[in-house]
């Protein structure tokens, strides 16, 4: 089979089943893009995920079939994956848990399994041991493990993967479905910056933007530490955080108790417009792969301050100010320095645009995955 066609020598199109559960921020958008690209190349694609994922990502709109997973126990999920993959030529699972469940579903079948790790799973204590066992189970069952960052590839090899490779992850361009808080497109199209700022209550002050789930390890504690020092700046910047999660009540209490210049605006469907309106984007996480906020900021010409973790240094190079995770003081100083130096801001914006122009496209990502399928099916 050639990489431009889903058929070869009279055989029917290759049937690729994508398994991703409910779809995390980033992985769901990636699978939607992957499904569209594979279908365009003549493959038959089935996406096997929780029912709400279809409404969120629109896989059928990309030309794929959708097989909703049943709610319930892992045994039911395994049975659902096994049924969806009954005539599959390759099964491609996204994420640790879904790699394990797909491996169980394919037990006793010759169907090759591809597993993509999009992010690192962090755990401590007894759960860390369970995670290591799951990682070994998934990568040893997989014919090929794809990692979104070099450290994920190294981790897969350390866990016993027979074949682990770095995979390009293309950035969803304009027109992608409003699927995640980090890449959603506004139904209103381009919105004037003044309108966005007025809606956020930003009046003659710099707008700082962070985007992501409000949960542990996302770095919002150190970010609020940094926000305390920004009160001394003139004009005082406003930090807007877009996203929802279990940490919201505690973060909101702290913002109110300390009088911090921070607004939690919840889940938004206009994040690209928020990014374009910002004076500075901030990525304070403990770990990131190919961070969508970084890519969106570079595309919009917005300078970025980020933690030097995971795949971030490889992604942004010298086009962003990098700080250690958890260091609120370093974060505060980096943001203050960039806000106060127009030349540095211009340098970061120019470097970001140059770097972003060379990032893999969605087409590159599809072509790479298809080449893996070719090897396994050919």
Side-chain-facing half-sphere of 290: CA atoms under 13 Å? 24
pLDDT in tens, 110-166: 999 999 998 888 777 888 889 999 999 999 999 999 998 888 999 999 999 999 999
Q: What's the rounded Cα separation, in Å, for the pair 109 and 91?
A: 11
Nearest Cα to Cα of residue 17 among 111, 117, 143, 137 = 111
Is the fold of 15-170+361-377 the same as that of 193-357?
A: yes
Can you count the helices (H) and strands (E) in the chain?
Answer: 15, 13
Residue 198 is encoded by which pair of tokens? 């007025």
Q: Where are the chain's structural domains?
A: 15-170+361-377, 193-357
- The CATH class that applies to domain 193-357 reads alpha beta
Condensed to tens digits (0 to 9), the pLDDT of residues 185-202 reads 333 446 688 888 888 888
Instruction: State how beta strands 304-307 and 280-283 pair.
Output: parallel
Residue 50 pLDDT: 84
Residue 258's SS3 state is: helix
- The token pair that represents 330 in the structure block: 């370093």
Contact 206, 281 (CB under 8 A): no
Whole-number average pLDDT of the chain: 88
What's the pLDDT score for residue 171? 63
Beta-carbon count within 10 A of 247 CB: 18
State the residue for tokens 């990032």. 359
Q: Nearest-CA neighbor of 244 among 217, 280, 274, 268? A: 268
Q: What percent of the chain has pLDDT over 90?
A: 66
Distances (CA, A) of 225 to 221, 255, 352: 6, 10, 27
Contact by Cβ (8 Å): 141, 202:
no
> What is the reported pLDDT for 350?
95
228 vs 192, more confident:
228
Question: Is the predicted pLDDT of residue 6 greater than 80, yes or no?
Answer: no
Cα–chain center distance at 226: 25
Helices 328-339 and 220-230 pack at an angle, to 10 degrees, of 50
Strand arrangement of the beta sheet that strand 65-69 belongs to = 65-69, 44-50, 15-21, 90-94, 113-117, 144-147, 164-166
Q: Which segments within the chain are labelled E, that is strand?
A: 15-21, 44-50, 65-69, 90-94, 113-117, 144-147, 164-166, 207-211, 238-242, 262-266, 280-283, 304-307, 321-323
Q: Are 307 and 283 in contact (CB under 8 A)?
A: yes
Q: Is the pLDDT of residue 68 over 50?
A: yes
335 pLDDT band (50/70/90 cuts)?
very high
Beta bridge partners of 264: 241
What topology does CATH give the domain 15-170+361-377?
Rossmann fold (3.40.50)
3-state secondary structure of 18: strand
Mean pLDDT within 162-179:
68
């Amino acid at each position: 089979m050639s990489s431009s066609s889903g058929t070869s020598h009279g055989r029917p199109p290759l049937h690729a089943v994508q398994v991703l559960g409910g779809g995390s921020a980033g992985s769901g958008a990636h699978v939607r893009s992957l499904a569209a690209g594979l279908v365009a190349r003549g493959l038959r694609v089935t996406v096997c995920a929780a029912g709400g994922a279809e409404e969120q990502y629109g896989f059928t709109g990309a030309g794929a079939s959708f097989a909703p997973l049943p709610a319930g126990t892992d045994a039911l999920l395994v049975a659902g994956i096994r049924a969806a993959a009954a005539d599959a030529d390759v099964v491609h699972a996204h994420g640790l848990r879904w790699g394990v469940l797909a491996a169980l579903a394919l037990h006793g079948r010759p169907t090759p399994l591809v597993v993509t790790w999009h992010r690192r799973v962090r755990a401590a204590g007894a759960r860390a041991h369970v995670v290591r066992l799951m990682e070994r189970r998934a990568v040893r069952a997989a014919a090929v493990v794809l990692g979104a960052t070099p450290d994920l590839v190294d981790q897969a090899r350390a866990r016993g993967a027979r074949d682990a490779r770095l995979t390009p992850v293309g950035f969803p361009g304009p027109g992608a479905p409003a699927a995640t808080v980090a890449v959603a497109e506004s139904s209103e199209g381009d919105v004037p910056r003044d309108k966005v700022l007025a809606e956020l209550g930003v009046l003659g002050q710099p707008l700082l933007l962070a985007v992501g789930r409000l949960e542990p390890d996302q770095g919002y504690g150190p970010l609020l530490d940094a926000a305390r020092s920004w009160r001394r700046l003139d004009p005082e910047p406003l930090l807007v955080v877009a996203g929802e999660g279990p940490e919201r009540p505690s973060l909101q209490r702290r913002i109110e108790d300390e009088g911090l210049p921070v607004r939690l605006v919840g889940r938004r469907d206009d994040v690209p417009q928020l990014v374009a309106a910002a004076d500075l984007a901030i990525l304070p996480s403990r770990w990131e792969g190919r961070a969508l906020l970084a890519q969106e900021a570079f595309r919009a010409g917005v300078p970025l301050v980020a933690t030097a973790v995971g795949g971030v240094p490889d992604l942004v190079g010298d086009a962003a100010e990098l700080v250690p995770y958890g260091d609120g003081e370093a974060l505060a100083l980096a943001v203050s320095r960039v806000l106060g130096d127009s030349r540095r801001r211009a340098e970061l914006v120019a470097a970001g645009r140059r770097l972003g122009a060379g990032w893999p496209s969605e087409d590159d990502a599809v072509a790479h995955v298809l080449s893996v399928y070719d090897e396994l099916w050919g």
